[in-house]
Amino acid sequence: MTIDDADGTGGTRPGYRDTAQVDMPMAPPRPSAPLPVRTRGGETSREVPPVPTPRPVVEGPIPLPPAESVPLSTVCTVERHLDEILGSVPQVDPIELAVLDAQGLLCAEEVVSQRALPAFDQAALDGYAVRSEDVAGARMSAPVSLAVVGESVAGTGVFHTSIGPGLAFRVTAGAMLPAGADVVVPAVWTDQGTVQVEVLAGPPAGGYVRRAGDDVAPGDPAVQVGTPIGPAQISLLAAVGRERVLVRPRPRIAVLCAGPELVDVGTSPAPGQVVDVNSYALAAAARDAGAEAYRSGILPSDRRRLTEVLESQLLRSDLVLIAGTMSPGGFDMVQEVLAELGQMQFRQVTMHPGPVQGFGRLGRDQVPVLCVPGEPVAALVAFEVFVRPAIRLMLGKRQLFRRTVQAIAGQPLASPLGYRQYLHGTVMRHPDGGYVVEPVGDGTDALLARMARANCLIVIDEDVTDVAAGGLVTVMPLLLGG
């Protein structure tokens, strides 16, 4: 697999998933043993689950709620929810941008050069343009003497000029060669004479000459569809005379949050109120993933205003991202309004944290809308798992997922059976090679201050409930911009 440009990831669209080797079966897993749980105090209990598991999963010592209370269709695996999102995310139409603004984006056209690069035979360095046969026998002990009949400086043409046997033309790096010359003798291999020059050694024919079209011939493809545009591509685009280029644009993403408890950061929260952090954190994460993110803040609590805001964002966005605590089949006002705008589905996804995830395509343009949990740590985990791959797909990237590594767990880890657990952690290189990972905090609640110390997500698969200290786990380093 190629180490890819803008990536540092190892996942490509079809087949590969962030961690799983195979797709999970659709039927919810049925635990055959009590769920192992690490509780706040650190003791391990096999009596209670760490999260309210979706009802059909609950068994054994955990009370089994009425099976019909949550329809089976609202429970699904990480893969299935992700598949549905990636399968529905639309392509954004290519746009033409100035080459410098195209940086980091994928080329959406076949750029064919109309020119030869270099445009003319030129000296690769300062020296003397000569005929190779004249200097072939030059030695320190037997220098060849040539008459200097002219000078060619970079930036000037030397048309209708040629040299014959026994003649030399003084040239600077990048200067056009006179006709007849097929080699440049570096100045340091000569006595640097101005009227007559003593050549002490001769390069082979073609030496230190950049031939017209050596780099790019007219009609050659310069930059191809799907190539990420970095400094080297910008260099080449400029060289073939392109000031603008067609690219896959950054998707415009509106970031909103919902919750009666939320107040703006500038406000002092009253008792029971909480500052909106998700619209900031998710906008930052969306930018880091390559989107043009617009932080639209807290959704209004007035129903009419709420509808207006959502409709307006659907008109001007390629994707709408909403963070809020919602529930499958819930009757929250935001959920009701979303349902009026199109087909929106909320599901229990078998992951921890934050099982409730929503997805739909709403409005006239069927704009994808993703809902992630309102709890800030769960919101950023859901962003990593679902939103970042969707943004990368919209950007046209082949590598949708972050590269993962296997690391040695520095301490025992527990995970609820049937759930894919994402724990924030700190991964370090081991002096003997490989990686070691520790969860931040006690590995249960990843709170904000703890999350800010993490540099990775530890991913524990659905069928694993315990990882012993020294066992291997999958780790997804959270490199910014990666």
b/e for 259-280, b at 16 or more Cβ within 10 A?
Answer: beebeeeeeeeeeeeebbbbbb
Stretch that binds a second copy, among 19-27, 253-261, 309-317, 363-371 (CB under 8 A): 253-261
Q: Does 432 bind a second copy (CB under 8 A)?
A: no
Nearer to a second copy, 14 or 231 (CB): 231
Q: Tell me how far the alpha carbon of residue 372 is from its chain's centroid.
A: 20
Q: Does 428 bind a second copy (CB under 8 A)?
A: yes
Q: Does 376 bind a second copy (CB under 8 A)?
A: yes
Residue 167 forms beta bridges with which residues?
Answer: 147
* Structure-token match 């931040």, residue found: 440
Among 87, 243, 304, 433, binds a second copy (CB under 8 A): 243
Asked if 456 and 475 touch (Cβ cutoff 8 Å), the reply is yes
Asked if 354 and 457 touch (Cβ cutoff 8 Å), the reply is no
- Alpha carbon dihedral 12, 282, 386, 315, in 10-degree steps, equals -100
Asked if 337 and 314 touch (Cβ cutoff 8 Å), the reply is no
CB of 364 to a second copy, least distance (A): 30
The C-alpha atoms of residue 459 and residue 482 are separated, in whole angstroms, by 18
3-state class of 390 per DSSP?
A: helix
How many of the chain's residues bind a second copy (CB under 8 A)? 136
Q: Does 41 bind a second copy (CB under 8 A)?
A: yes
Nearer to a second copy, 92 or 173 (CB): 173
Nearer to a second copy, 6 or 371 (CB): 6
What letter does residue 325 receive in the DSSP assignment? -
Which residues have a Cβ under 8 Å from the Cβ of 321 and sit 6 or more positions away?
Answer: 253, 254, 255, 256, 282, 286, 369, 370, 372, 383, 387
3-state class of 363 per DSSP?
A: coil
Near a second copy in 119-158, by CB under 8 A: 119-120, 124-127, 140, 152-158
CB of 155 to a second copy, least distance (A): 3
Among 235, 312, 406, 411, binds a second copy (CB under 8 A): 235
Stretch that binds a second copy, among 75-83, 408-416, 443-451, 458-466 (CB under 8 A): 443-451
Nearer to a second copy, 327 or 366 (CB): 327
Q: Does 220 bind a second copy (CB under 8 A)?
A: yes
Nearer to a second copy, 290 or 360 (CB): 290
Residue 246 forms beta bridges with which residues?
Answer: 96
Through-space distance between the first and last CA atoms of the chain, rounded to whole angstroms: 17
Q: Does 45 bind a second copy (CB under 8 A)?
A: yes
Stretch that binds a second copy, among 163-171, 219-227, 245-253, 409-417 (CB under 8 A): 219-227
CB of 88 to a second copy, least distance (A): 25
Near a second copy in 101-120, by CB under 8 A: 103-104, 117-120
Stretch that binds a second copy, among 181-189, 304-312, 333-341, 358-366 (CB under 8 A): 181-189
CB of 224 to a second copy, least distance (A): 10
Q: Does 204 bind a second copy (CB under 8 A)?
A: yes
Asked if 209 and 184 touch (Cβ cutoff 8 Å), the reply is yes
CB of 311 to a second copy, least distance (A): 24
Near a second copy in 330-359, by CB under 8 A: none
The C-alpha atoms of residue 93 and residue 85 are separated, in whole angstroms, by 19
Nearer to a second copy, 39 or 312 (CB): 39
* Encoded amino acid at 107, one letter: C
Stretch that binds a second copy, among 207-215, 310-318, 408-416, 462-470 (CB under 8 A): 207-215
Asked if 95 and 198 touch (Cβ cutoff 8 Å), the reply is no
